[in-house]
Amino acid sequence: MAKHLTSKDIDILVSLIDTWEGKLGWEALCDAAAPLVGVRPTRQTLNSHAQIKAAFGHKKKQQKTGFVSTKRPPSLSIAEQRIKRLENENDRLKAENASLLERFLKWQYNAYKHGVSKEKLDAELPAIDRDSSERSWPWQTDSRSLNKTLPPSSAGLHRSRQKTVQP
């Protein structure tokens, strides 16, 4: 069974891609990721995470432009690698920021379209009282409320087909 990647694993893999030297491919990335995340992830697992996919695409695009590090003393070479890694990370984060801004604009438009006011969107989140024994969330109801008869759905269930929920 494929391992589910945690956010920490994703950050590690994005950093690995940003610092990648040589030809980058999915199989090579899967092989290099194995010691970092514990098991060898599949190409599909890596490709299913937007951050990894974006970093991979950005690195491939960068490799096609032909950046090659030059011969330098070790300290300058390390500094050059760090600068290049930070530039790559900066470019990737700019692209991610643009994607999030685009998503926000879609949400803003859809909220306006469906009549959600700015005041409702800017409303404060409810305070969480962790010491309270009362449950205010719908999924934290007591079992007595689950024995009630369900109302007919919009699909028009016949009264004889109504079900009661068992605790």
Mean pLDDT of 62-81: 75
Q: Is the predicted pLDDT of residue 149 greater than 70, yes or no?
A: no
Q: Is the predicted pLDDT of residue 99 greater than 90, yes or no?
A: yes
What is the band of 96 on the pLDDT scale with cuts at 50, 70, 90?
very high
**Phi, psi at 139, each rounded to 5°:** -80, 0
- Residue 56 is which amino acid? F
Query: Helix crossing, 7-18 with 74-113: angle to 10°?
Result: 130
Task: Determine the pLDDT at residue 21.
Answer: 83
Rg (CA), the chain: 26
Mean pLDDT of 24-53: 90
Beta strands in 67-127 (DSSP E): none
Task: At 59, list the tokens.
Answer: 């690195």
Task: Determine the pLDDT at residue 100.
Answer: 95
SS3 94: helix
Q: Minimum mean pLDDT among 24-33, 40-49, 94-103, 123-132: which range? A: 123-132
Q: Between vectors from CA 131 to CA 129 and to CA 135, what angle results, nearest 5°?
A: 65
Q: Is the predicted pLDDT of residue 157 greater than 50, yes or no?
A: no
Q: Is the predicted pLDDT of residue 155 greater than 50, yes or no?
A: no
For the CA atoms of 47, 50, 51, 56, what is the dihedral angle to 10 degrees? 40
Q: Is the predicted pLDDT of residue 148 greater than 90, yes or no?
A: no
Task: Determine the pLDDT at residue 98.
Answer: 94
- Residue 19 is which amino acid? T
Exposure string (b/e) for 24-36, b if CB count within 10 Å is 16 or more? eeeeebbeebeee
